[in-house]
Amino acid sequence: MSEQTPIKILVVDDHFVVRMGVSTLVNAQEDMTVIGEAANGKQGVELFRTMRPDVTLMDLRMPEMNGVAAISAIRSEFPDARIIVLSTYDGDEDIYRAFQAGARAYLLKDMHHEELVNAIRAVHQGQRFIPPAIAHRLAERMPRSELTARELEVLKLIVKGMSNKEIASTLRITEGTVKIHVNNLLAKLGVSDRTKAATTALQRGIVYLE
């Protein structure tokens, strides 16, 4: 294997310690090498253009441009780009969005080192790599949970702690309309009240705290 050209890897993560740890692990393998590191999605897209890595390791929640947006941007220019998401979040929406954007694998940062190395090799060969726990989370995501754009707006404001009256004022709609949206999204999320809606939205990665 050492005689082959090593797999060229780009690491995109806003935490220096994570980039350092991943790079050290990758560079310890005979058949792979880190050719670049980026601290946010925007930088990741720019480095991808200039470096053309074989495999990109991408964090999801980053400043300037998040991982899903970065994956979409890269894949729109380079449809064959092979990207692995490395995240601390296992929410089904996070996972779903990552694969929708074109990721080939989704790993949690607390995985075994061997799993990351195996994922890089599999994705480099054109395969997908979905660990059982991630596949299970993805399967749990019910099609009925698709929220409309307006329901998502209302949910984001619920997470910020706004009342129906405040939401109505912010979105310039009636309080009655807000109540309808709230009832709809409670049903879709399978929860009984606003507090549970907020915690569920955050746990699943439907909404992020800004």
Fold of the domain spanning 143-204: Arc Repressor Mutant, subunit A (1.10.10)
Per-residue pLDDT at 146 exceeds 90:
no
**DSSP for 155-171?**
HHHHHTT--HHHHHHHH
Confidence (pLDDT) at 1? 43
Domain segments of the chain: what residues? 7-140, 143-204
CATH classification (class only), 7-140: alpha beta
Per-residue pLDDT at 29 exceeds 90:
yes
Q: Could you tell me where the beta strands, DSSP code E, fall in the chain?
A: 7-12, 32-38, 55-58, 83-87, 105-108
The model's pTM is: 0.77
190 or 102, greater pLDDT: 102
2 or 152, greater pLDDT: 152
For 97-142, write each residue's pLDDT tens digit.
999 999 999 999 988 899 999 999 999 999 999 999 898 888 777 5
Region 87-94: mean pLDDT is 88
For 36-74, write each residue's pLDDT tens digit.
999 999 999 999 999 999 999 999 999 899 999 999 999
Q: In terms of residues, how long is the chain?
A: 210
Nearest to 201 by CA among 140, 138, 162, 156: 156
